[in-house]
A and B are shown apart, each in its own frame.
Chain A
């Protein structure tokens, strides 16, 4: 990724500086400043006088010096950086980066015309800002690039010869798209069982799979006898399949429970004498 200079010039220091800062007076001892740094996870603490104007900056390097001398009880005045270089809140990021390069400091206080400290800009704040841009770019790319992919297959009731072809095709497409194997497996089970339900019980139907980066939605809709008691049909072992179909290894009352186990969300709509619609969702961003 190459970031143009114009981008850095368009960002003001005051927009990305850390304003959650702690200021100390010259009489604060180094020990308490060390604690402030640890708890607030900061590496620079501005030192102000009684009028609230900046007179120095205690950095993590200063704390180390005091620590090395076994002198953490001394007032920070002894170790702080006096008259530190600072940034103006209206400075842009490009100016700031030049200052970082020139002095090789890890952070600069941000000070207004009255000498009051408004915040601190550290290299960490800049890195986080850049990461935010990167994430934004990726999100936009994903949305524009990937429209929902729709797979659609007709399924014929009683057609045991073609049964399973639709779900096999779905599996192959997902493999080509590089979908995670564990997700593919769940989709395979859902599509297979939904497809077989249409073959076994209905006259005809359609198996549809909608794929987006966030979700896979499987819809199996059929014209058929419908389900009079969905709750009962969901129970493992319950089946209305005729004997000749059971002999083939179907109709064990495992179809809908299998679908349910593999779905993050499952909805079944059915009208007796008209047909059934099974809507199953799998979320992809869920880790």
Chain B
């Protein structure tokens, strides 16, 4: 499913959408960056409360296409700027990671951990 379609259906606030047409295949929920580094799959959507700039680096390195800042967390200007530069879609939602993960699962997005 396209990232922008997911955002629309789940009512995300769109912060940046430089690559809204990208096809999202997997999802990951985690706030530990090293864990995300080791386990996220390409073409994933990532639910996190971490909003700082380094989340973009993690997304670029793992092939995460979209980040959803959950529980009302908002990214700063630097993070948004970098996300647009690196073509990472950013969304904000008031709902918790648990709620959003459930919704994504209903849409057919699955979590598959990378086995190294």
User: Do the two chains bind?
Assistant: yes
The interface size bin for chain B is 20 to 34
List the one stretch of B14-22, B27-35, B95-103 in contact with chain A. Answer: B27-35
Distance between Cα atoms of A176 and B76 in the complex (Å): 31
Q: Which residues of A lie under 8 Å from residue B52 when comparing CB positions? A: 160, 248
Q: How many residues of A contact B (CB 8 A)?
A: 25
Docked-complex contact A192 and B37, CB < 8 angstroms: yes
Distance between Cα atoms of A53 and B38 in the complex (Å): 71
Q: Which DSSP category, helix, strand, loop or mixed, fits chain B's interface?
A: helix
Q: Which residues of B lie under 8 Å from residue A252 when comparing CB positions? A: 32-35
B57 contacts which of A165, A181, A261 (Cβ < 8 Å)? A165
**B60 in the interface (beta carbon within 8 A):** yes
**B68 in the interface (beta carbon within 8 A):** no
Q: What distance in Å separates the Cβ of B56 from its nearest Cβ neighbour in chain A?
A: 7
Enumerate chain A interface residues (CB-CB to B < 8 A). Answer: 160-161, 163-165, 167-168, 171, 181, 185-186, 188-189, 192-193, 196, 248-250, 252, 254-255, 258, 261-262
Distance between Cα atoms of A249 and B78 in the complex (Å): 18
Docked-complex contact A164 and B54, CB < 8 angstroms: yes
Docked-complex contact A254 and B38, CB < 8 angstroms: yes
Besides the known contacts A192-B37, A196-B54, 17 further A-B residue pairs in the complex with CB atoms under 8 A apart: A160-B52, A163-B54, A163-B57, A167-B57, A168-B60, A168-B61, A171-B61, A181-B42, A185-B62, A185-B114, A192-B57, A192-B58, A250-B54, A254-B32, A254-B34, A255-B34, A258-B37
Distance between Cα atoms of A232 and B60 in the complex (Å): 30
Q: What distance in Å separates the Cβ of A112 from its nearest Cβ neighbour in chain B?
A: 61
Distance between Cα atoms of A167 and B62 in the complex (Å): 11
With known contacts A161-B53, A188-B62, A258–B32 Cβ distance under 8 A: no
A249 contacts which of B38, B50, B116 (Cβ < 8 Å)? B50
Q: Which residues of B lie under 8 Å from residue A254 when comparing CB positions? A: 32, 34-35, 38
Q: Which residues of A lie under 8 Å from residue B62 when comparing CB positions? A: 185, 188
Q: What distance in Å separates the Cβ of A233 from its nearest Cβ neighbour in chain B?
A: 14
With known contacts A192-B37, A248-B50, A258-B37, A164–B61 Cβ distance under 8 A: yes
Please name 13 pairs of A and B residues whose Cβ atoms are closer than 8 Å in the assembled complex, sorted by A: A161-B53, A164-B53, A186-B116, A188-B61, A189-B38, A193-B34, A196-B54, A248-B33, A249-B33, A249-B54, A252-B32, A254-B34, A254-B38
Residue of B nearest to A191 (CB): B61
Q: Which residues of B lie under 8 Å from residue A171 when comparing CB positions? A: 60-61
Docked-complex contact A161 and B34, CB < 8 angstroms: no
Distance between Cα atoms of A276 and B37 in the complex (Å): 22
Q: Which residues of B lie under 8 Å from residue A193 when comparing CB positions? A: 34, 37
Docked-complex contact B116 and A261, CB < 8 angstroms: yes
